[in-house]
Amino acid sequence: MNVGTERYNAVAMTLHWLIALSIIALIAAGVWMVDAIKQPESRATAFQTYQLHKSLGLTVLVLSVLRLAWRLTHRAPPLPDGMSAFERLAAKSTHILFYALMIGMPLAGWAMVSASKFGLPTIVFGLFEWPHIAWIETIENLETKAATEAVFKTAHKYMGYGLGALLVLHVGAALKHHFVNRDGVLARMVPGIQARGSRNA
C-alpha cells in the first residue's frame, strides 16, 4: 500500500514554508494593526507594521506565482492509495483555493493601496518603492476612487478570513493524516518527519 513516502523536492518545500510563515505573520499583523493605527500611542508602530504587512504581502504574491509555476512544471508526489475520491477532491480543491487566495489577496491589497486617497508609498522592506497600479492611482473622480478602494478593501478583508479558515482546515487535515490515517501525507512536506505507516497496512 502506498503510504505517501515520496516527498516534495527542496524547491517546493522551501516555497511552501516561506509562504506559510509569511501568511501567519500577515494574519497576526493584520488583526493587530487595524485597531492599533487608531490609537495615538501605537500609531507609529502600526504604521511601520503596515509597511511590513505590505512588504510581506507582495512577497507572498511573488512566491505564490513562482510556486504555481513550479507546481505546473513539476509532478507532485502521489497521494496515498487509501484516500477516497472525496478526500482527493477535497485536497485538490483546497490547493486551488489556496493559490487563488494567495495570489488574489495580495492583488486586492495592492489595488486598495493604489486607490487610497492618502497615496502613501509602499517601501518593500525599506529597500525600494513598489509602484501603485497606475490605472487605479490615476482615477480622477474622488467618489469613484473611494468606491474602488472600498471594494478592494472589502475583498481583501474577506479573502483574509477565507485564507485563515483554509489554513486551519489545512493544518487540521495534515495532522489527521499523520496521527489518525498514518499515511505519510505530512511527511511529504515536512523535513525530518518520517511516515508513520498506515495502521491498516
For the entire predicted model, the pTM comes to 0.90
Let me know: does 70 contact 141? Beta carbons within 8 Å: no
What pLDDT digit, counting tens, does each position of 73-129 carry? 999 998 888 889 999 999 999 999 999 999 999 999 999 999 999 999 999 999 999
Query: For residue 133, what pLDDT is reported?
Result: 98
Query: For residue 181, what pLDDT is reported?
Result: 87
Query: For residue 199, what pLDDT is reported?
Result: 43
Q: Mean pLDDT, the chain, as a whole number? A: 92
Query: For residue 195, what pLDDT is reported?
Result: 61
Confidence of residue 184 (pLDDT cuts 50, 70, 90): confident
Let me know: does 160 contact 105? Beta carbons within 8 Å: yes
Let me know: does 4 contact 91? Beta carbons within 8 Å: no
Query: What does the alpha-carbon distance between residue 137 and residue 142 come to, in Å, rounded to a whole number?
Result: 11
Confidence of residue 193 (pLDDT cuts 50, 70, 90): confident
What pLDDT digit, counting tens, does each position of 20-61 carry? 999 999 999 999 999 999 999 999 999 999 999 999 999 999
In 3-state terms, what secondary structure has residue 122?
strand
- Between 191 and 16, the more confident residue is 16
What pLDDT digit, counting tens, does each position of 115-157 carry? 999 999 999 999 999 999 999 999 999 999 999 999 999 999 9
Residue 137 phi, psi (nearest 5): -60, -35
Query: For residue 3, what pLDDT is reported?
Result: 47
Grid coordinates standing for 108? 486586492
pLDDT exceeding 70 applies to what percent of the chain? Answer: 94
Decide if pLDDT at 4 tops 70: no
